[in-house]
Amino acid sequence: MSDQEREALHDGLRLTAVALSDADIPFALCGSYAAWARGAPEPDHDADFVIREEDVDRARAAVAAAGLDVKEPAENWLFKAYHHGALVDVLFRITGEPVDPALFERADVLEVLAVRMPVLSASDLLSSKLRVLGEHYCDFSRLLPIARALREQIDWDRVTDAVDDSPYARAFLSLVRDLGVAPASRAAGVAPASRAAGVAPTSRAAAS
């Protein structure tokens, strides 16, 4: 990404955050730029925000009024906004599910590119990235730098519970524990509540 492209992306991020804030729309910076705001390496692609689905129409109008070119993609879980070619995604569903309002309550207001804005918590940020892992996309190399950078900010037990139904996410958590990035899981023989029934408590320990 050239310096000019990065400047356009930074401006698009700032303009979107200010537009959503001025419209009194609950939102949070998410994705890789949220990780960057918390200390991870800066990404070289688009910025992402998350809002409630009921606020989509107001958000589109606010972002368009701020000067961004709003587009409707084929996907039914976000809209896209462009600033001099730089892309800002505004999500209103995460992995196909409605956005939990508690995400906004757990977000922290941080200064990002000289603008104060809500930023997704480190735990919710990692959980959301782990939830998209699957058979057709399972790139741990993008996740490891984030996990390393945010390790002290992450509630690892809460992340474990949040993604416990995903074998891909469990594999990543096992890896970061083996690497010493994350602390060891719960005491041996204690399974998360979501898997306590009908699942051998040693299955997680054997994987990690």
Distance from C-alpha of 93 to C-alpha of 109, rounded to nearest angstrom:
21
What pLDDT score was predicted for residue 31? 94
pLDDT digits (tens, 9 = 90+) for 145-194: 999 999 999 999 999 999 999 999 999 999 999 999 999 875 433 444 44
Distance from C-alpha of 93 to C-alpha of 81, rounded to nearest angstrom:
16
pLDDT digits (tens, 9 = 90+) for 35-56: 999 999 999 889 999 999 999 9
For the whole model, what pTM was predicted? 0.85
- Name the residue type at position 152: E
Q: What is the mean pLDDT of residues 59-79?
A: 94
What pLDDT score was predicted for residue 205? 35
Distance from C-alpha of 6 to C-alpha of 21, rounded to nearest angstrom:
23
Q: What is the mean pLDDT of residues 66-92?
A: 95
Say yes or no to pLDDT of 206 above 70: no
What pLDDT score was predicted for residue 207? 37
Q: Are 51 and 99 in contact (CB under 8 A)?
A: yes
Say yes or no to pLDDT of 28 above 80: yes
Place of tokens 């084929």: 74
List the structure tokens of 69: 């070119």
Q: How far is CA 31 from CA 35, 97, 125, in A?
A: 7, 16, 7
The dihedrals phi and psi of 89, each to the nearest 5 degrees, come to -95, 135
